[in-house]
Amino acid sequence: MPRPRRKPERTLVALIGDVVESRELDPRRRKRVQLALQEQIEVLNRALGPEILAAQITLTGGDEVQALLRRPGHVVQVVRELSDVLFQAEIGALRMRFGVGRGSLTTGPVPTPWAENPALLDGPAFHHAREALTRARDRQLWACFEGLEGSAANFRPRTDLALEALFALMGSIREDWTERQGRVSILFRRLQAEAAGGISQSDLARELRVSPSVISETLKAARHNLLLLGEEAAVALLEALEEPL
User: What's the whole-number average pLDDT of the chain?
Assistant: 88
Helix (H) or strand (E) holding 8: none
pLDDT-derived band at 150, boundaries 50, 70, 90: low
d(CA 118, CA 122): 8
Structural domains in the chain, CATH included, are 12-153 (3.30.70.270)
User: How much is the CA Rg of the chain, to the nearest whole Å?
Assistant: 19
- At 190-224, the pLDDT tens digits run 998 888 777 899 999 999 999 999 999 999 999 99
d(CA 196, CA 205): 18
Backbone φ and ψ of 107, nearest 5°: -100, 15
User: Residue by residue, what is the 3-state secondary structure of 94-124?
Assistant: CCEEEEEEEECCCCCCCCCCCECCHHHCCCH
